[in-house]
Copies of this chain bind each other. A is one copy, B any other.
Amino acid sequence: MDDHVYRVIQIVGSSEKSIDDAIHTAIARASKTLRELRWFEVVETRGHIDNGRVHHFQVTLKVGFTLEGD
């Protein structure tokens, strides 16, 4: 975190297991196309309910990454 310029994007990951897992899912997917991911921040935690039980969690993240070529 020195003199670079970062870009921040927003993504939403989901998981039937847990909030933590929804975060892992989102980061893993984002890292397929973006190099140099550095940090994330949870913006919102939601979920869908089916038959009176949590069907899956949905976690919205801000993710920061170094702009290439800095």
Q: Which residues of A contact B (CB under 8 A)?
A: 1-16, 18-20, 23-32, 37-42, 44-49, 52-54, 56-58, 60, 62-64, 67, 69-70
Contact = CB atoms under 8 A, between A and B. Distances in A.
A20 to B, nearest CB: 5
CB-CB nearest 5 A-B residue pairs: A31-B52, A6-B12, A8-B10, A5-B29, A42-B45
B56 A23 contact: no
Contact of A48 (B30, B38, B58): B38
Given A3-B14, A14-B4, A19-B19, A49 B39 contact: yes
A11 B20 contact: no
A10 to B, nearest CB: 4
